Chain A
Amino acid sequence: MAVLEIRDLHVSVETDQGTKPILRGVDLTINKGETHAIMGPNGSGKSTLAYTIAGHPKYTVDSGSITLDGQDVLAMSVDERARAGLFLAMQYPVEIPGVTVTNFLRTAKTAIDGEAPPIRHWIKDVKSSMKNLRMDSTFAERNVNEGFSGGEKKRHEILQLELLKPTFAVLDETDSGLDVDALKIVSEGVNRAKENTNLGVLLITHYTRILRYIRPDFVHVFVNGRIAEQGGPELADRLENEGYDRFLTDEATV
């Protein structure tokens, strides 16, 4: 049983004003097949957690650990983490001019699997995944994220999730900027990946809306760089009614 464990994680970032601590002791255990929602107000450190798991060089881990089945994730390079089975669906995927989606997907799949996918099989997989995500077939010949709308970028992220078949996926505000139809399509993709590969999901979101479509097993409320409260799906419902004010007030009185 694969497990992603985060222990007492402290992370800081360099800013013009000096070193700024963002994560202040995060503990989290995600088993394969589980879906954990991380919710919290802006600036609470949700995205920092996502990028730290993926290994973005901007963030410095001051202490704590991240392990995947006991292996030290923090010792791995960005690409090694991806090959070990971690995936980050990004909030703002960058454009890569001159690299087509087709070429990019094949290169990534080859890197993850350690060998080129059998060509006929692969083309079929790509086509059917794109169809499921209601992506036009001309999409494959466009350059990665170049001129994509917000919704297209997110669908493209989920397309990769379905094709690369990671063990754990971190979805960083995948719901932001999506209308209801696009949100449903993207959520269906995540649910398919959960069903097909027993994916473990860390779903980072500001809003409860996506949780109507992707049912979380656990909900963690993130405030000021650590988990302030956790519970089951009912916690999300409470947040929907009450918002984050309760936590922010707590924080102010501390």
Chain B
Amino acid sequence: MTISAPETTTTKLENTGALGYKKHTDGGWGLVPIQTRSERFASTDVTDFPAVTGREAAWKLTPVDRVSDLIDGQLDGTEYNFTVTEAPGVSVEWVNRSDARIGTAGKPEDRAAANAWSQVEKALSITISGEESGTVRIERANLGSAPRAAHTVIEAKPLSRGLIILHNTGKARLTENVEIIVGDAANITVVTVQQWDDDAVHLASHFSKVGRDAKIKHVVVTLGGSVVRINPSTHLVGTGADVDALGLYFADAGQHLEQQVYVDHDAPHTRSRVNYKGALQGTGARTVWIGDVLIRQSATGTDSYEQNRNLVLTDGTRADSIPNLEIETGDIAGAGHASATGRFDDEQLFYLQARGIREDEARRLVVRGFLTDIVQQIGDPELQEKLQDAIEQELTRTRLSTDGS
């Protein structure tokens, strides 16, 4: 094998740095990719985005052929049916798309989100004003199989507290935007649970804007659906703003579960913790986790850590895990990232088996243990119990599949 020398180009003066180093050319394509996450193009108008090829940073790990109708097509943007269990201090209502809050938390960074934004007619508004934490459950079970757009605005007034559960089941072909405006010193939890039918497709962008001394716990739990991609981004704009971004996913054969998590530290003394955990089983089970953390020059004293862990249960699966950390200031309290994708630890298995526990039961015990710390942080016992049961169901499938092989 011969290795040819890279083509040399004449070094122009403007390409030479202070020490005489040549400027990095990015392979000499003549195209410099976006270097900073915050500079990624954003627009609420679908026509501002070029046609999706599947090679874009936002789409390159997504099966775009399975979601093309949501990226380009006609969408139903009308009101849909949902059920809600309300709590004091929280109001839920439909609002027009002219509502002043819409567009204040963030803007679409991909064509599917912009397509939803362009076609949605009404937005679901959830306003939290109570200072005593109440729990609101919104169940969406009848979205149907026609392509649909949705928009949700969650506003937590200053000093308010609350737990919002968005629970998704049944059929869906949905692209949507969720804006979460967390007022100063508010403290809220938003949980989105995807237990869709096997053929459902769901693309979502969540935009949180977190004010001074405010705190949001954002949890994404995805168990069911054919292609489910939830991209939560959190903009920490107030001094002392704080986010816990948690996720749990369990991909079976043929399922594509993806999350692109972005935390933008844009004020001093902000804190973020990102922790996503996933399990994969069955041929073609695929998960994607991209975690971008940006610590801007303005974000001195920031404390940040992100991690993703994947547990592979069978052959034939693929887990992508891509942590990115950009730091623009030297004055930070901490910043770190971790990513690990592994099979069962054989020593754990040995320990449990040495106590008489059968291999399949031991595996289930370990997976349950692996995922349970995310579930335990949700803060709603009823939902936690439901999710533990749902994980049990998934694990029963593992046993069947290993028995069958």
Contact = CB atoms under 8 A, between A and B. Distances in A.
B298 interface: no
A79 B357 contact: yes
Contact of B357 (A81, A98, A111): A111
Interface stretch (A86-94, A120-128, A240-248): A86-94
Contacts of B365: 96, 99, 103-104, 107
B76 to A, nearest CB: 41
Residue among A97, A99, A143, A160 facing the most chain B CB atoms (10 A cut-off): A99
B348 interface: yes
B356 interface: yes
Contact of A94 (B347, B370, B372): B347
A99 B356 contact: no
Given A93-B351, A94-B348, A96-B351, A111 B366 contact: no
B370 A97 contact: yes
A98 B370 contact: yes
B281 to A, nearest CB: 18
A98 B347 contact: no
A158 B362 CA distance: 21
B350 A96 contact: no
Contacts of B353: 55, 77-79, 82
Interface in A58-86: 77-79, 81-83
Given A90-B351, A94-B345, A99-B366, A83 B372 contact: no
A160 B355 contact: yes
A82 B371 contact: no
B373 interface: yes
A88 B353 CA distance: 11
B363 to A, nearest CB: 12
5 contacts: A55-B354, A79-B354, A93-B351, A94-B351, A111-B355
A96 B356 contact: no
Nearest to B364: A107
| 10 tightest A-B CB contacts, nearest first | A98-B369, A82-B356, A78-B353, A108-B355, A111-B356, A99-B369, A112-B356, A79-B353, A98-B372, A83-B356
A96 B369 contact: yes
Nearest to A89: B354
Nearest to B367: A98
A57 interface: yes
A38 interface: no
Main secondary structure of the interface of B (DSSP, over half): helix
B343 interface: no
A115 to B, nearest CB: 12
A23 interface: no
A57 B370 CA distance: 23
A103 B365 CA distance: 9
Given A57-B346, A94-B348, A96-B348, A82 B355 contact: yes
Most A-side CB within 10 Å, residue of B351, B362, B370:
B351
Interface size class of B (residues with CB under 8 A): 20 to 34
* A90, A96, A97, A108: most-surrounded residue (chain B CB, <10 A): A96
Nearest to B355: A108
A24 B132 CA distance: 71
A164 B369 contact: no
Contacts of B352: 96, 104, 108
B368 interface: yes
A96 B363 CA distance: 11
A172 to B, nearest CB: 11
Contacts of A219: none
B23 interface: no
A76 to B, nearest CB: 11
A112 B373 CA distance: 28
Given A77-B353, A78-B350, A79-B353, A98 B358 contact: no
Given A97-B369, A99-B368, A99-B369, A164 B351 contact: no
Contacts of B371: 98
Interface string B306-349: 00000000000000000000000000000000000000011110
B361 A107 contact: yes
Interface centre among B345, B355, B362 (most CB of A within 10 A): B355
A57 B369 CA distance: 23
Contacts of A96: 348, 351-352, 365-366, 369
Interface string B368-390: 11111100000000000000000
- Looking at A57, A108, A112, the one whose CB has the most chain B CB atoms below 10 A away is A108
Interface string A94-138: 101111000110011001100000000000000000000000000
Given A82-B356, A111-B361, A160-B355, A57 B350 contact: yes
A79 B370 contact: no
B340 to A, nearest CB: 13
B359 interface: yes
A56 interface: yes
A14 B328 CA distance: 49
Contacts of A79: 353-359, 362
B359 A164 contact: no
B366 A107 contact: no
A253 to B, nearest CB: 39
* Residue with the greatest number of chain B CB neighbours at <10 A, chosen from A77, A88, A94, A98: A98
Contacts of A98: 366, 368-373
Nearest to A83: B356
Contacts of B347: 94
A54 interface: yes
Contacts of A94: 345, 347-348, 351
